[in-house]
Structure 1
Amino acid sequence: MGVTAAPSTTTVRVRFFAGARAAVGHDEETVRLPGGATLHDLVADLGGRHGAGLTRVLTACSFLLDAVAVRDTSTAVPDGATVDVLPPFAGG
């Protein structure tokens, strides 16, 4: 039985909400990362492409990976996953 290698690229659907959406200027995008990428890699890629405004927002965000809350940014992001970027919401 052989070991299955990670795909050479990972395609991720990223959906932005509230302040993250405002910082990016759109609701969602598709991101291609190297195979075996983590949530940390995705966040770094997003900040690098969208600049300081989004980077500031990302520091306060929480993330859903395929509808499951993820706090550990070393979590691998599988090919075809959806990541929701959720800034803190004000409540009342």
Structure 2
Amino acid sequence: MTTLTIVVRYFAAARAAAGEEEEKVQLPSGSCVADAVAELRRLHPEELPRVLEAVSYLLDGIAVRDLTRPLKDGAELDVLPPFAGG
């Protein structure tokens, strides 16, 4: 089975829940954003799944609305919790 590796970057509450700022994640070739999210839930089962319910994602700097969007090797997936502003 061939794999691809993506870089996941966590921000704010997602960083706290994952316990790290960035990590490399290996997935089967042909994976999509939803597959990456499922793997993040598996890798960090304690607090991150709750945070992932309310986050948005950037894939290579572009907002992701469709979680079936395919991933390519070397992609960067940013996990962005809602930010309070004022």
Q: Same fold (TM over 0.5)?
A: yes
Distance 1:51 1:41 in 2: 15
Which one of 60, 66, 70 corresponds to residue 72 of structure 1? 66
Q: TM-score, normalised by structure 1?
A: 0.90
Q: How many residues align?
A: 86
Output the amino acid matched with 1:61: V
Structure showing greater Rg: 1
Distance 2:2 2:69 in 1: 17
Distance 1:89 1:69 in 2: 15
Runs of 4+ in 1 over 6 A off after TM superposition: none
Output the amino acid matched with 1:66: D
SS in 2 for 1:23: helix
SS in 2 for 1:46: helix
Which one of 5, 9, 14 corresponds to residue 11 of structure 1? 5
Q: Tell me the percent identity.
A: 55
Q: What's the counterpart of residue 51 of structure 1?
A: 45
Q: Any stretches of 5+ residues in structure 1 without a counterpart?
A: 1-6
Q: TM-score, normalised by structure 2?
A: 0.96
- 1:40-87 per-residue CA deviation (whole Å, 9 max, x = no partner) reads 000000001101410111111100000000110000111110000000
Alignment RMSD, CA only? 1.1
- 1:8-43 per-residue CA deviation (whole Å, 9 max, x = no partner) reads 111000000000000011100000000010100000
Output the amino acid matched with 1:15: R
